Amino acid sequence: MTTTSPTPLDSARLTRAQRATLPLNADVVQALAEQHGVCIRPLAMRRIDTTTGRVDIVPVPCGSTRDDQCPPCADKARRLRMAQCCQGWHVEQEPVTQRTKPTEEHQALMAARADLLAAYTECKALGDEDTAEQITESVAELDTELRAAGVRGRLAPLDPPPRPVKRSTRRRQDAPNLPRRPIQRRTIGQVFAGRYRPSTFLTLTLDSYGRVDTDGAAVDPDHYDYRRAARDAIHFPALVDRFWQNTRRCVGWDVQYFGTVEPQKRGAPHFHAALRGTIPRAELRAITAATYHQIWWPNHDQLVYTGDRLPVWDTRAKTFTDPDTGTPLPTWDQACANSTKPAHVVRFGEQVHVKGILGGTEEAGRHIGYLTKYLTKTIGQAAGLGEHATDAQREHVHRLHAELQITPCSPRCAVWLLYGIQPKGARHSMTPGRCKGKAHKPEHLGIAGRRVLVSRKWSNKTLDDHRAERSAFVRQLLEQAGIQPDHGPQDGPYRWERTAPTDPDVPARPVLLLHAVAERQRWKAEYTAAQLATSGSPPTTNYSTAANQAA
Ligand SMILES: [Zn+2]
Ligand SMILES: [Zn+2]
């Protein structure tokens, strides 16, 4: 039997067009790396073993969360989020750890600190600066001791900052038509029929701004309310925050959630959340309807400066002025003090989608997948604005973006100058109307904040904790099987150094990638061996995912 080998190519005899169709070495290696789940654009770091002096160039994953930048890293990040979501959703025991009780040492240190604080205030009042300075040093020493003893939280400063001016009652944002119950310390859901502890999948959307077609583009762009759409998008995270506050107050327990902010096809953000436990549907609807967020910013309905006529910085007065008259523009605080009504109010739309979901079911897994589905995409991509977008879609996004360019994103936004108001912290390097905030960028559609919002007591772990947990799982399995990884805890400690691409010891990217692929294969082989040794059965896909995560 003859072996089938590919026909060798004689590149000298190929035309330029034919040669152009051949894959590049770098592309082949990249495809291989992707197939093995290895980062395709790693950072070459120099790892120095400080015990043995051995120096290696090690590929460190880029850690991108975006699929168009690095598919393996993005996939890994998404899987970690899935694990985080899964761990908190149907928890049956309170995940909150009890704080340790303060010891006598803690209390003694704190008492000494309080005495010093009192002495400091007295010295300050008497004008005894020298003693005050000595006390400052002693307090700093005490603080170090307190931290070393494991005390967390803010310690009272020696010079308390001036009390903030209290907001008047007209700025209250509570929802008066909702019941209000004292909040219990409970975060887990109720059990039904003695054994079912369902949780909830919730979707909140914004109001309609005008009719849209099936691709999400405005049917009549001239009558679509782009201004409200832009402002609602920018203030959406604040509205979501307000929603959880109201929910906790209304239902009377410490509701926990894992949620993602995603764009709808029309470009407006909506919020999907896995919520631990259940809340009656009618109650969730009532809370959504009653929730609103007022933006107490200066009015910004009318542009004052456009085109080339823009405010000018007065270097002597250190303030922005009118280009014609030279009069200083009102500062942020002045403009705020003058405003009598909120510049904008955000509310949710009428659509509230609520679904009860039992833990460990196929449905739970599907919804976790749904929640995290678009995390590897940019907002624009997730809204379906790729290369296949229709003309109407492009026009729609163009209009929304034009509005976002003249919508201030924060009190420090340089867009305020177009409305004749100096932003907070105005300085000469600001260009009127130009703000680097993500909200103004076309691919963000005004959605500038975090994509994943997780409440603090969801799993009581940070993302880093979840990451460490996964690698610990794999390491433990290897240890159980008696497999010693190539470089384990017995090596090191390591010192890490950045490299420059021109360093003679840094290999080209394809070489670095191949190194990483080989490493990954070795890892997987070890892992499979460990799996077989401990359980006697071949690993399931689930476990190999864990290995991918940890490696
Ligand atoms: Zn990567
Ligand atoms: Zn801005």
Burial letters 36-63, b for 16+ CB under 10 A, else e: bbbbbbbebbbbbeeeeeeeebbbebee
Banded pLDDT at 174 (limits 50, 70, 90): low
**Per-residue DSSP letter, 380:** H
CA of 406 to the centre of ligand 2 (A): 9
Give me 282's structure tokens. 């009618």
Over residues 417-428, the pLDDT tens digits come to: 999 999 999 999
Question: What's the rounded mean pLDDT across residues 401-418?
Answer: 95
CA of 434 to the centre of ligand 2 (A): 7
| Phi, then psi, of 259 in degrees rounded to 5 | -135, 155
Q: Say which residue, 172 or 180, is predicted with more confidence.
A: 180
Question: What's the rounded mean pLDDT across residues 317-333?
Answer: 94
For the cut 50, the answer to whether the pLDDT of residue 539 exceeds it is no
Give me 332's structure tokens. 């942020």
- Report the percent of the chain where pLDDT is more than 90: 45
User: What pLDDT, on the 0 to 100 scale, is given for residue 353?
Assistant: 93
User: What pLDDT, on the 0 to 100 scale, is given for residue 1?
Assistant: 45
**Which ligand is closest to the CA of 448, given by its number?**
2
Residue/partner pairs of 117-120 with CB below 8 Å, 24 or more apart: 117/156, 117/158, 120/158
Question: In what helix (H) or strand (E) does residue 356 lie, and over which residues does it extend?
Answer: strand 344-357
Question: What's the rounded mean pLDDT across residues 329-344?
Answer: 91
**Which ligand is closest to the CA of 76, given by its number?**
1
The DSSP-derived string for 56-99 is EEEEE------TTT-HHHHHHHHHHHHHHHHHHHT--S--PPPP
Residue-averaged pLDDT of the chain: 86
Greatest alpha-carbon pair distance for the chain in Å reads 103
User: What pLDDT, on the 0 to 100 scale, is given for residue 490?
Assistant: 59
CA of 478 to the centre of ligand 1 (A): 25
Cα separation, 72 vs 187, in Å, equals 35
For the cut 90, the answer to whether the pLDDT of residue 184 exceeds it is no
Question: What's the rounded mean pLDDT across residues 508-521?
Answer: 88
C-alpha angle 224-350-180 in degrees, rounded to nearest 5 = 135
Question: What's the rounded mean pLDDT across residues 508-513?
Answer: 87
CA of 439 to the centre of ligand 1 (A): 26
For the cut 90, the answer to whether the pLDDT of residue 505 exceeds it is no
Tokens 């559609």 correspond to: 445
Over residues 50-82, the pLDDT tens digits come to: 888 888 888 889 999 999 999 999 999 999 999
Q: Which residues pair with 271 in a beta bridge?
A: 204, 261
CA of 43 to the centre of ligand 1 (A): 9
**Which ligand is closest to the CA of 74, given by its number?**
1
Edge-to-edge strands of the sheet including 257-263? 292-295, 344-357, 199-206, 269-275, 257-263, 452-454
CA of 16 to the centre of ligand 2 (A): 49
For the cut 50, the answer to whether the pLDDT of residue 203 exceeds it is yes
The answer to whether 347 touches 291, Cβ cutoff 8 Å, is: yes
User: What pLDDT, on the 0 to 100 scale, is given for residue 545?
Assistant: 45
Highest mean pLDDT among 73-77, 507-511, 515-519, 534-538: 73-77
**Per-residue DSSP letter, 168:** P
**Which ligand is closest to the CA of 65, given by its number?**
1
The answer to whether 455 touches 462, Cβ cutoff 8 Å, is: no
324: left (phi over 0), alpha (psi -120 to 50) or beta: alpha
**Which ligand is closest to the CA of 409, given by its number?**
2
**Which ligand is closest to the CA of 73, given by its number?**
1
CA of 408 to the centre of ligand 2 (A): 5
Cα separation, 140 vs 117, in Å, equals 11
Distance in angstroms between the alpha carbons of the first and the last residue of the chain? 41
**Which ligand is closest to the CA of 415, given by its number?**
2
Q: Say which residue, 36 or 536, is predicted with more confidence.
A: 36
Q: Say which residue, 335 or 502, is predicted with more confidence.
A: 335
For the cut 80, the answer to whether the pLDDT of residue 160 exceeds it is no
**Which ligand is closest to the CA of 64, given by its number?**
1
Residues whose CB is under 5 A from ligand 2 (ion)?
Answer: 409, 413, 435, 437
**Cα dihedral across residues 117, 118, 121, 122: positive or negative:** negative
User: What pLDDT, on the 0 to 100 scale, is given for residue 535?
Assistant: 72
